[in-house]
Chains A and B, each alone.
Chain A
Amino acid sequence: MDMLKKLSHSSLALPLAALALLLLFNALFVDDFFKIEVMENGNLYGRPIDILYRASSLIILALGMTFVIATGGVDISVGAVCAISAASCCVMLGGDISGIPEHPFVLAILCGIGAGVLAGIWNGTLVAKFKIQAMVATLILLTAGRGIAQLLTDGQIITVYYKPFSYIGGNIPGIPLPTALLIALCMVSLVIWLDRKTSLGLMIQSVGINQTASKYAGINVTLVLFCVYIFSGFCAGTAGLIEGSFIRAADANNCGLNMEMDAILAVTLGGTLMIGGKYYIGGTIIGAITIQTLTTTMYAVGVSSDRLPAVKAVVILLIIVIQSEKFKQMYRNYRLKQGSSAAKEAEHA
């Protein structure tokens, strides 16, 4: 009981409840939702795996976004950065139909991630060094990013026939779990390590809550801000590789489209406030999974992909209303009123 109470007050309560509700719905209305099979080639297959697999690039983006939002900023360029990363990786590999890459695979991967980091450095410089509002600063790359990606691919959709490239978004032969999921797990452990074993978390939160005071306490605010944007760029670069590998091509117009919105949504759903301050890694991860579960569920019940946003929107609006201080206060007042009327009734009796 105590545990339950503690849980209901914790920041994870809401995303967990939302996820549980979705899963319950699935359990009741979608056949074989929880069934996991082993396929002939040894890979695991089933809806839960599929959700995690599809959610992995979102999780990665959302991790980077969590830190950025915790400093009181936001990085709305991540979707466009995904496109740049995918484009640069694909350009390096080349669209040769024989499947022979133009440059070594490792170099191409590094190039993709490097493009993300470069974008992060750009954003970080604007925000940390020039003290430009985060949304404005990242708006620049959001506007120009897809143009840059198209510049890289020369306006073409480059399809990569090199086999190992598809492993990133698929399975490495012999490993039963999707590679994307493994990458996401690595990133999650990296972030948890950063959070637990370094004081980066403390500093990010201080900067998010009160920048001036953090500066006076000796924290290098510029460096902290710089770091979070670079990390976000790194995450976007990684997610871009996965997104690119899903379709084995660099599609500058659609790669990572609207993913910045999903990532922000995952972070807020996880309980981190947009104004910065306290952040919740666990919440973010569950938030991302919840969003993907919602998407998969909606597909399963036959809602088409272009109608899905309406459902998503209702969920977002409901959740942020429930999370708001005002709602909590209204709820408390309601409880108080109930309590006092109950007391009055007791008196009458």
Chain B
Amino acid sequence: MEQAAKDTYLLTMRHIDMFFPGVKALKDVSFNLKKGEIHSLMGENGAGKSTLVKVLTGVYQKTRGEIEFDGQVIAPKTPLESQKLGISTVYQEVNLCQNLSVAENIYIGREPKTAWGGIDWATMSERAAKLLNEKLGLSLDVNKTLGFYPVAMQQMIAIARAIDTQCKVLILDEPTSSLSDHETARLFEIMRSLKEQGISIIFISHFLEQIYTICDRITILRDGTYVGEYEVKNLKRIDLISKMMGKEISEGEIESNLDKATASSDVLVETSKVTVPGKVKDLSMQINKGEVIGLAGLLGSGRTEIAETLFGVLQKSEGSIKIDGTEISIKNPMSMMLNKIAFCPEDRKLAGIIGDLSVRENIILAMQAKDGMFRHMPRAKQNELADYYIKLLRIKVSDREQKISTLSGGNQQKVIIARWLATEPNLLILDEPTRGIDVGTKSEIEQLAVSLAKEKNMSVVFISGELGEEVRTCSRVMVIRDHEKVTELNGDEISTAHIMQAIAGDYHGHA
């Protein structure tokens, strides 16, 4: 029986241990991949998914264990070695060179050569065009520099590169996080066609929905250990989450609505016909005091741009923005900070944390910027403030002088929120505050948004691609499509179905 099972597996990893200096990242992890299946690797942040993938692809070296691939024991030492064996990877950030042509990006490292040993550019372009056309159904100018194509296209090109090598296993590490729904659907089509061609795919994603749409089986990791291997169709979502978190949670805990905030009738921010060329079209909206207002829409629909306009990162060309009834001119983020508006940006690593500074310094930063260079906050006051927010938001740190880059994603996010709470804003804009964060911290942040509105009468703009999250937290949801406000949903109207209908353009109110 066992022998039979073994034969159907293309790849088996047994008893894998992996040490980083001082830390055990993987403990006795096993992983089995069948030929021609789409297999998801699931786990919270830091569960060891990426580490396992990197051991497989030769970026890291395992400390103990055995990898059997296609009937042979392998121990790749470099990504190139694993690639030659037939294991290719496409990473979350497009890992190609923006300054080279599309064709080169596909063939670099294994360029076709002419008789006298030079690179054969003509053959390379020809092959690249053929590959993109036949396998992925794309036709584009392969001699153009890669940087000219949008990210989604670059991702497809990365996949083209990956499957052109005698690829048997394709690893997709969070490929969808920067794609729109339409682009994701296109990606899934390609994945299915690759599967039919007999390629096994390891798919890593934070979106449960996608896992259930595309995957056949799931392997779950937790804290660097192996939890189990399941057929997708036999595993309920709620079970999946409880296995990932390692605790039983009732359906209600995740799905149930929080006790939502009720908005007062006082208007805090009012925009009328605000336009930013190419980013925001004719936006008129109101934000009331003490409400959590959601911005829903597809990625790239203009959600983030609206938030950035409200915070003064983008400059409006027309229209007016009133705060507390008085019209204000916006030059830069500072002018909005002085009007008590705060903004936690979407990309935490790039636009949020100051990696090498301590938690304390990260917390006081915005406040200090607001006070100006010459009104320096005394150290004692800084400490007091940092400690207060560390306790309030339950940020897990060894002490306030710990470098923020050493914290987990969820705790980093909390520090950024603390940074803005410290400025005592009237309006807090949270742009994708829970992306890439584990389930526990996710619900903590959702609750925080609601309680800030309820208890401090703060207005919160909550932007999230996860509709369930919007449904749970927001007392009003604005739906955005193509840089325009489509509709608003209030109170009982708010449901995943309604929002989706509104995004699709066929929601017309209760009737």
> How long is the Cα–Cα vector from A278 to B405 in the complex, in angstroms?
14
CB of B370 to closest CB in A, whole Å: 6
A314 adjacent to chain B (CB < 8 Å):
no
CB of A300 to closest CB in B, whole Å: 40
Q: Are A219 and B376 in contact (CB under 8 A)?
A: no
Contact code string A209-220 (vs B, CB < 8 Å = 1, else 0)? 110111111111
A213 contacts which chain B residues (CB < 8 A)? 345, 350-354
B152 adjacent to chain A (CB < 8 Å):
no
Q: Are A217 and B357 in contact (CB under 8 A)?
A: no
Q: Are A217 and B419 in contact (CB under 8 A)?
A: yes
A332 adjacent to chain B (CB < 8 Å):
yes
> How long is the Cα–Cα vector from A202 to B370 in the complex, in angstroms?
13
Looking across the interface, which residue of chain A has its beta carbon closest to that of B347?
Answer: A212
Stretch binding the partner chain, chosen from A124-132, A193-201, A238-246, A282-290: A193-201
CB of A278 to closest CB in B, whole Å: 6
Q: Which of A164-218 contact B (CB under 8 A)?
A: 197-200, 202-203, 205-206, 209-210, 212-218
> How long is the Cα–Cα vector from A212 to B345 in the complex, in angstroms?
10
CB of B316 to closest CB in A, whole Å: 18
B272 adjacent to chain A (CB < 8 Å):
no
Q: Are B354 and A218 in contact (CB under 8 A)?
A: no
Q: Which residue of B332, B343, B350, B369 contacts A203 across the interface (Cβ within 8 Å)?
A: B369
* Known A-B contacts A202-B365, A218-B333, A220-B334; A212 and B356 likewise in contact (beta carbons under 8 Å): no
A114 adjacent to chain B (CB < 8 Å):
no
B291 adjacent to chain A (CB < 8 Å):
no
Looking across the interface, which residue of chain A has its beta carbon closest to that of B336?
Answer: A218
Looking across the interface, which residue of chain A has its beta carbon closest to that of B334?
Answer: A218
Which of A198, A202, A206 counts the most B-chain CB atoms under 10 A from its CB? A202
B357 contacts which chain A residues (CB < 8 A)? 202, 205-206, 209
Q: Are A277 and B368 in contact (CB under 8 A)?
A: no
Q: Which residue of A205, A209, A216 contacts B345 across the interface (Cβ within 8 Å)?
A: A216
B371 contacts which chain A residues (CB < 8 A)? 199
B373 adjacent to chain A (CB < 8 Å):
yes
Q: Are B313 and A216 in contact (CB under 8 A)?
A: yes
B337 adjacent to chain A (CB < 8 Å):
yes
B377 adjacent to chain A (CB < 8 Å):
yes
Q: Are A210 and B334 in contact (CB under 8 A)?
A: no
* Known A-B contacts A197-B376, A202-B365, A217-B369; A210 and B353 likewise in contact (beta carbons under 8 Å): yes
> How long is the Cα–Cα vector from A277 to B374 in the complex, in angstroms?
20
B366 adjacent to chain A (CB < 8 Å):
yes
Q: Are B354 and A210 in contact (CB under 8 A)?
A: yes
A210 contacts which chain B residues (CB < 8 A)? 350, 353-355
> How long is the Cα–Cα vector from A215 to B354 in the complex, in angstroms?
11
> How long is the Cα–Cα vector from A253 to B369 in the complex, in angstroms?
43
Contact code string B309-353 (vs A, CB < 8 Å = 1, else 0)? 000010000000000000000001110010000010100001111
| A residues contacting the other copy or chain, number (CB 8 A) | 24
Q: Are B354 and A199 in contact (CB under 8 A)?
A: no
A197 contacts which chain B residues (CB < 8 A)? 376
Q: Are B373 and A198 in contact (CB under 8 A)?
A: yes
Looking across the interface, which residue of chain A has its beta carbon closest to that of B352?
Answer: A213
Which of B337, B369, B370 counts the most A-chain CB atoms under 10 A from its CB? B369
Q: Are B351 and A199 in contact (CB under 8 A)?
A: no
Q: Which residue of B333, B356, B374, B377 contacts A209 across the interface (Cβ within 8 Å)?
A: B356
Which of B345, B368, B419 counts the most A-chain CB atoms under 10 A from its CB? B368
Q: Are A277 and B345 in contact (CB under 8 A)?
A: no
Q: Which of A296-349 contact B (CB under 8 A)?
A: 332-333, 336
B252 adjacent to chain A (CB < 8 Å):
no
* Known A-B contacts A198-B374, A218-B334; A206 and B354 likewise in contact (beta carbons under 8 Å): yes
Q: Which of B442-490 contact A (CB under 8 A)?
A: none
> How long is the Cα–Cα vector from A218 to B351 in the complex, in angstroms?
11
Q: Are B355 and A216 in contact (CB under 8 A)?
A: no
Q: Are A202 and B333 in contact (CB under 8 A)?
A: no
> How long is the Cα–Cα vector from A332 to B377 in the complex, in angstroms?
38
Q: Are A278 and B334 in contact (CB under 8 A)?
A: no
CB of B24 to closest CB in A, whole Å: 15
Q: Are A199 and B376 in contact (CB under 8 A)?
A: yes
Looking across the interface, which residue of chain A has its beta carbon closest to that of B379?
Answer: A196
Q: Are B313 and A218 in contact (CB under 8 A)?
A: no
Q: Are A217 and B356 in contact (CB under 8 A)?
A: no
A212 contacts which chain B residues (CB < 8 A)? 350-351
* Known A-B contacts A219-B369, A220-B332, A277-B356; A199 and B377 likewise in contact (beta carbons under 8 Å): yes
B332 contacts which chain A residues (CB < 8 A)? 220
> How long is the Cα–Cα vector from A212 to B352 in the complex, in angstroms?
8
B173 adjacent to chain A (CB < 8 Å):
no
* Known A-B contacts A205-B357, A206-B365, A332-B21; A215 and B374 likewise in contact (beta carbons under 8 Å): no
Looking across the interface, which residue of chain A has its beta carbon closest to that of B364?
Answer: A202
> How long is the Cα–Cα vector from A218 to B355 in the complex, in angstroms?
17
Q: Are A202 and B361 in contact (CB under 8 A)?
A: yes
> How long is the Cα–Cα vector from A278 to B353 in the complex, in angstroms?
15
B369 contacts which chain A residues (CB < 8 A)? 203, 217-220
Q: Which residue of B21, B352, B368 contacts A202 across the interface (Cβ within 8 Å)?
A: B368
Contact code string B360-394 (vs A, CB < 8 Å = 1, else 0)? 01001110111111111100000000000000000
Q: Are A199 and B373 in contact (CB under 8 A)?
A: yes
Contact code string B92-113 (vs A, CB < 8 Å = 1, else 0)? 0000000000000000000000
Q: Which 3 A-B pairs have the closest CB atoms?
A: A218-B369, A219-B369, A199-B368
With A203-B368, A217-B366, A336-B21 given, name 11 new contacts (CB 8 A): A199-B371, A199-B375, A200-B373, A203-B373, A205-B356, A206-B357, A209-B354, A210-B354, A213-B350, A214-B354, A333-B21
Could you list 6 A-B pairs, sorted by A, with CB under 8 Å?
A: A206-B365, A217-B365, A217-B366, A218-B333, A277-B356, A278-B356
